[in-house]
Amino acid sequence: MTYYSPEKLTKTHGRLEDMVVFVTGATSGIGEAAARLFAAEGAKVVCAARRRDKLDLLVGAIEEEGGVAVAATCDVTDEASVAAAVQVALDRYGRLDGAFNNAGQGGAHGALHKISTDNFDRVVGVNLRGVFLCMKYEIAAMLREERGGAIVNTSSIGGLIGNGGNSAYAATKWGLAGLTKSAALDYARHRIRVNAIAPGATRSEMFDRWIDTEEARERMAAAFPMNGIAHPDDMARAALLLLTEETRWTTGVILPCDAGMSAGWKVM
């Protein structure tokens, strides 16, 4: 099994130079990797998450690396909190050019009839309603400027193919695909692009809680054609691509980042 290493992906090119980019779920996993990468690529990053202590550590680390960042405490399930966090970008930098809506939560594993309603509602609240709230305020901020903007949402392989035993999580990620594609159509004429990445197995705090033994991780890695577990930086690079001018003609896309799993059956 391979754990892909971020040390191979350190070269930057200023591809987000002078952009203001809002990142949710910024204090761990893919969100943290993205915040640091975006800053290295020249963005002014608004780091949004619930844990203020970790936000302050992240902003400090970015600044030590020569980047520009500000912390915005944010609970994506709370509309007032989301509105205030996006306002941080406007108050500090005067505009919003990009957003990476990455905050997410795993659902309860098991058969659908055994999943509690409270668990289902909690997962929907973060993974779907939370992205809706973020997009609502991000798009409103972007519409203030004629320059448009770019939004990237974090979906999942669970939003591309069936995900047995994880129906609540899968439902939110399939719903997120519809939200992404519909918003892409609504705002294309305003030059606001809306896309999503769909990660496969990626090493993170949430992944380690779900898959808590090395044996189980080996089995999961073997299910993917590339036989590996991605590093969060792999997903940050995909989000970066969709934020840049390199994809200026791309909107409404759900980009699989799943080591080939969604391409079809692997011949054993």
Per-residue pLDDT of the chain (268 residues; tens, 9 = 90+): 555 555 544 557 899 999 999 999 999 999 999 999 999 999 999 999 999 999 999 999 999 999 999 999 999 999 999 999 999 999 999 999 999 999 999 877 889 999 999 999 999 999 999 999 999 999 999 999 889 999 999 999 888 888 778 899 999 999 999 999 999 999 999 999 999 999 987 666 665 566 667 776 666 655 666 656 778 999 999 999 999 999 999 999 999 987 677 777 665 5
Phi, psi of 118 (to 5 degrees): -60, -40
Residue 137 annotated as catalytic: no
C-alpha distances in Å from residue 122, one per residue of 21, 32, 126, 172, 197: 27, 23, 7, 11, 22
The reported pTM is 0.90
Look at residue 157 and give its three-state secondary structure: helix
- Show the tokens assigned to 175: 């719903």
Catalytic residue among 3, 4, 137, 169: 169
Domains and CATH numbers, the chain: 17-255 (3.40.50.720)
